[in-house]
């Protein structure tokens, strides 16, 4: 689901942790080259993929359901929030409920929210050190998502969004620097489980019209004051940006999973790509497009599935619901030898009212029945979605506690 974010909360714990020995200009390497980066090891902790396409945790077959804790870290980046350590209470709460991992944004949503990393990297990493140390303390796995809002990096360097498709661009230069800084610094942490490019980029590609479906304009948050067709993305751009992300990660970490962060593709994804048409794809075309949108060396398939993903029947030749959609995704995962990560799923109380629990359980049961190796519920401790979507789960809204308890029971069974 594309999020309509409210302004994000921020917090900090000042702690050098176990990573201070790698610092150089706020990173684990000099700004202009990799000569100071220690050689990568043969294997790192966390999640990896076997030759047969099985998901492994520290070398052993693994299945689990975690949660999205979207702003757990980035709430620490705003001015005046350096003493906000509320994420610690959240991690403790999840630990008590046997939630094994979180997916979270590792830098800001808007260009303005990147100011600390760009202007004072030592302060940025001091906060991220503390966050990773807290995850280690509570034994919670981490899947950091690097570029949550796709236009942000091009906006920061003054380029149109389509420069994600140009490996010689300033967009890619900043991407490479941030990847190096983060991956080298935290690649030895046992609680870092994988690396994700961003959030739902595939929903932005191949949309018709030069002046339609353009990215948002919010100049006070750092965007440009105008947009054009150069700010649109196409499948070719998506493939370039995902391959470049994965290749850059692989320079420093050769084993952890590398994730696109893609949502479930649009029902007409292939027809939009080939024909600029909203005609639904067939089941086989859906599976084909999963491969197209997850190019090597990306080694897992990413999807975000909500009850509304298949309310009208998903495939042209087979009008399935969410169970059939997940089953087709698992068939693609087996064929491509790339395990499936349902990076978001859940049910919005604002939309389904009294039917929310039933919709939630239908999804959870489909995840368990289809043996999805990795899934993360949307969303934990993100107050804007208390009312905006009616989907937030936190200690402050007890009526949704059942969601974590149901996940806990599934995790116990599949473990």
pLDDT at 13: 32
- What are the start-end ranges of the E strands in 54-206? 55-57, 60-61, 64-68, 101-105, 141-147, 194-198
| For residue 406, cis peptide bond before it (omega within 30 degrees of 0) | no
- Gyration radius of the chain's alpha carbons: 20
pLDDT at 36: 83
pLDDT at 72: 97
Q: How many CA atoms lie within 13 A of 109 on its CB side?
A: 22
What are the residue ranges in the chain where pLDDT is below 50? 2-30
Give the C-alpha separation, 247 to 241, whole Å. 10
**Beta pairing partners, 341:** 302, 374
**Taking the model in full, what pTM does it have?**
0.92
Contacts of 378 (CB under 8 A, 6+ apart): 1, 67, 68, 304, 306, 344, 345, 346, 391
DSSP 279: P
Whether the CB-CB separation of 135 and 142 falls below 8 Å is answered with yes
pLDDT at 1: 53
Give the C-alpha separation, 174 to 411, whole Å. 38
pLDDT at 33: 67
Give the C-alpha separation, 369 to 375, whole Å. 13
Query: SS in 3 state form for 44-62?
Result: CCCEEECCCCCEEECCEEC
> H/E element holding 63?
none
Give the C-alpha separation, 235 to 206, whole Å. 6
DSSP 302: E
DSSP string, 178-228: HHHHHHHHHTT-TTB-EEEEES-GGGGBT-S-SSSSPPP--GGGT--S---
Tell me how many degrees the CA angle 214-346-66 measures, rounded to the nearest 5.
Answer: 105
Q: Give all domains of the chain, ordered by start, each with its CATH number.
A: 17-414 (3.20.20.80)
Tell me how many degrees the CA angle 125-27-33 measures, rounded to the nearest 5.
Answer: 160
pLDDT at 23: 37
């Amino acid at each position: 689901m594309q999020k309509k974010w409210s302004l994000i909360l921020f917090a900090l714990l000042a702690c050098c942790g176990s990573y201070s020995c790698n610092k150089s200009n706020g990173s684990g390497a000099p700004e202009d080259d990799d000569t100071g980066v220690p050689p990568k090891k043969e294997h790192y902790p966390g999640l990896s993929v076997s030759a047969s396409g099985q998901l492994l945790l520290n070398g052993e077959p693994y299945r689990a359901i975690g949660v999205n804790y979207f702003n757990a870290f980035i709430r620490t980046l705003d001015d005046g929030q350096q003493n906000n350590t509320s994420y610690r209470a959240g991690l403790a709460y999840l630990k008590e409920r046997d939630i094994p991992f979180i997916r979270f944004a590792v830098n800001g949503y808007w260009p303005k929210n990147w100011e600390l990393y760009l202007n004072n990297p030592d302060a940025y990493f001091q906060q991220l050190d503390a966050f990773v140390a807290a995850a280690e303390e509570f034994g919670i796995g981490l899947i950091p998502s690097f570029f949550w809002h796709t236009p942000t990096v091009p906006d920061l360097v003054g380029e149109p969004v389509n420069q994600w498709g140009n490996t010689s661009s300033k967009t890619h230069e900043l991407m490479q620097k941030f990847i190096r800084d983060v991956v080298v610094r935290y690649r030895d942490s046992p609680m870092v489980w994988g690396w994700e490019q961003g959030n739902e980029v595939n929903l932005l590609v191949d949309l018709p019209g030069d002046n339609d479906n353009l990215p948002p304009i919010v100049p006070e948050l750092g965007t440009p004051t105008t947009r054009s067709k150069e700010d649109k993305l196409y499948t070719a751009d998506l493939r370039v940006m995902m391959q470049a992300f994965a290749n850059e990660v692989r320079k420093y970490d050769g084993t952890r999973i590398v994730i696109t962060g893609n949502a479930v593709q649009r029902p007409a994804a292939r027809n939009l790509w080939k024909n600029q048409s909203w005609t639904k794809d067939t089941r086989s075309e859906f599976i084909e497009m999963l491969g197209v949108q997850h190019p090597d060396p990306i080694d897992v398939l990413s999807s975000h599935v909500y009850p509304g993903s298949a309310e009208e029947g998903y495939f042209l030749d087979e009008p399935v619901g969410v169970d059939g959609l997940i089953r087709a995704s698992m068939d693609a995962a087996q064929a491509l030898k790339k395990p499936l990560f349902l990076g978001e799923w859940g049910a919005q109380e604002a939309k389904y009212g009294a039917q929310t629990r039933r919709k939630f359980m239908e999804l959870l049961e489909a995840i368990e029945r289809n043996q999805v190796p990795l899934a993360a519920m949307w969303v934990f401790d993100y107050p804007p979605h208390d009312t905006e979507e009616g989907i937030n789960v936190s200690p402050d809204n007890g009526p949704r506690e059942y969601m974590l308890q149901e996940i806990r029971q599934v995790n116990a069974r599949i473990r």
